[in-house]
Structure 1
């Protein structure tokens, strides 16, 4: 089928190799900074969460959100997301068991600490997650760079817990535990997926609420990789697919 059909039809899913190549081009050729990209993605994730779970729709007494962050870029996106959620009057709590040694990632941690966002030293049990009145969990653990066939502690244990809880889960870009190239059969089942830049191949059969955060992407890159991205409404930084 021709790639020239209406761009609102459906985005072209990205294999991991092309997703990595696009990010490299953004950093090297278009002179985006890594901190800049993480900030764009993290803010867009927070906006997507406000659309999927408006404050008025939350049933708990407090708009509490548990953000689980990994050690690499996806975790930093989660930190930025938590900071913006705080500005949007949600009450994020962060679990960040393995922090990066890179100063860039440490900066995002400090920003959250300076905004008095609490950090947990352990992951609550399934019962505690519900009884502690969290409204939802944000999965910002592993992302594009992870090897789904070789997930180590503490993340393998966290995934076991996330499979058992009844709370809503929002995954950033690639649900943790999924192979980026194909949907997971036995991984977690998020209710919301926020794809960054363009949907990855694993998102092809995702049936929950699906947002795309990639309005910043230069037109030449969209054309080069035949992404077939949808139109964004008004001045929004994301769109629902």
Structure 2
């Protein structure tokens, strides 16, 4: 198991990437979203899982989901829906929405039963490592709907980006909350696993994405860079 990266360290590393290390937010989001899409393709190919719905939050985790939606369409998934209840304030997100429309990807502000019932994959890109519980409206009701849908149809797969939304980034599911019974089929950690990844089920598929850190930078920040294969942007951890 790779050493997890705390929320505090992850935030500090993000800030460093976009200052002293020269990356822009747009670059990091594109690379993260690409790695999310590739991870999904490796585990749930578009032949067996042709229809995907991505639920995006208003922050950077949601931006990763917007990028991933475009790449999934390019990878051959038949129908992609994006649920974007609260739009992010960064103007870059508007550009990502424009790109999705070019690929005829529907962007809605509500998750309805028709979209849900026609989805083989539900991608939780609502909140990442900077989230502080509890979940609030409308995301609490969306997560409840997703969990109920999973209970009714076990063939429908839930994929969480970086952390399962609503989980405490360090401690995982929160007792006596919606998240107590929330366990994704797949977790895609970005840059490095977060402490809550230790709480996932043994049968949850765990991937790592975000191939933009050099070994010397990883050593400085106290985490590992895995041996990615060839041109892959992700690697399966378990």
Q: Which residue of 2 aligns with 1:234?
A: 230
Q: Which residue of 2 aligns with 1:75?
A: 62
Check whether the contact 1:38–1:77 (CA below 8 A) recurs between aligned residues: yes
In the alignment, is residue 206 of structure 1 matched against residue 190 of structure 2? Answer: no
- Provide the aligned length of Structure 1 versus Structure 2: 224
CA distance in 2, matches of 1:121, 1:14: 32
Check whether the contact 1:64–1:136 (CA below 8 A) recurs between aligned residues: yes
In the alignment, is residue 165 of structure 1 matched against residue 152 of structure 2? Answer: no
- The two structures have a TM-score, normalised by structure 1, of 0.88
Check whether the contact 1:182–1:203 (CA below 8 A) recurs between aligned residues: no
CA distance in 2, matches of 1:20, 1:219: 19
Aligned match for 1:65, one of 29, 45, 52: 52
Q: Which residue of 1 aligns with 2:153?
A: none
Q: Which residue of 2 aligns with 1:194?
A: 188
Aligned match for 1:21, one of 12, 25, 34: 12
Q: Quick one: structure 1 residues 39 and 128, their matched pair in 2 at CA, closer, same or farther if it must change by over 3 Å?
A: closer
Aligned match for 1:136, one of 108, 113, 121: 121
Offset at residue 147 of structure 1 (A): 1.1
In the alignment, is residue 92 of structure 1 matched against residue 80 of structure 2? Answer: yes
Offset at residue 128 of structure 1 (A): 6.1
CA distance in 1, matches of 2:110, 2:183: 22
CA distance in 2, matches of 1:17, 1:107: 29
- Once the two structures are overlaid, the 10-residue window that deviates more, 184-193 or 15-24, is 184-193
In the alignment, is residue 110 of structure 1 matched against residue 101 of structure 2? Answer: no
CA distance in 1, matches of 2:87, 2:69: 16
In the alignment, is residue 47 of structure 1 matched against residue 38 of structure 2? Answer: yes
- The two structures have a TM-score, normalised by structure 2, of 0.89
CA distance in 2, matches of 1:56, 1:95: 23
CA distance in 2, matches of 1:215, 1:23: 14
Alpha carbon RMSD of aligned pairs, Å? Answer: 1.5
Which aligned runs of 4 or more in structure 1 are off by greater than 4 angstroms?
none
| 3-state SS, counterpart of residue 55 of structure 2 | strand
Offset at residue 187 of structure 1 (A): 4.9
Q: Which residue of 2 aligns with 1:31?
A: 22
| 3-state SS, counterpart of residue 160 of structure 2 | strand
In the alignment, is residue 123 of structure 1 matched against residue 111 of structure 2? Answer: yes
Q: Which structure 2 segments of 5+ residues have no match? A: 151-155, 175-179
Q: Which structure 1 segments of 5+ residues have no match? A: 1-9
